[in-house]
Amino acid sequence: MKEISELTLPEDVRYSDDHEWARQEGDFVRAGISDYAQDQLGDIIFVEFPEIGETFEKGEECGTVESVKTVSELYMPVGGEVTAVNENLAEHPEMVNNEPYNGGWMIEIRPTDFGEMDSLMGKNAYLKMLKG
């Protein structure tokens, strides 16, 4: 497992208490699990996505991430409609481990309220939470 100082935590994403990240991209938000979360889970072997077109509230369970160690729930970092899922993860779930913020993204959301992004943590607040 990585030390906290070894984690990749981009400045341009926001983080939830449940270790999801969210990055605004135009009218959408792309989301996945943080470097910390993928490191804790170990080798990712499967990702179960919500259906495109489904809507969820912020914090609602919307899928699962399965690793060699366990199955973990995926939660919505912001409320809205799922507009895309990362189909590449069906064949290459290890992308979540290798590049959680780029090729390992999981879902794209059309938020119902972009203001919910403000309730997520920036890098420094997330780091502080991880350090306890």
* pTM over the 0.85 mark: yes
End-to-end CA distance of the chain: 17
pLDDT at residue number 111: 98
Mean pLDDT over all residues of the chain?
Answer: 97
Task: Name the band, by pLDDT with cuts 50, 70 and 90, for residue 99.
Answer: very high
pLDDT at residue number 10: 98
40-72 pLDDT, tens per residue? 999 999 999 999 999 999 999 999 999 999 999
Write down all domains in the chain, each with its CATH number in brackets: 4-127 (2.40.50.100)
At residue 53, the 3 state secondary structure works out as: coil
Contact 36, 96 (CB under 8 A): no
Euclidean distance between CA atoms 9 and 41, whole angstroms = 17
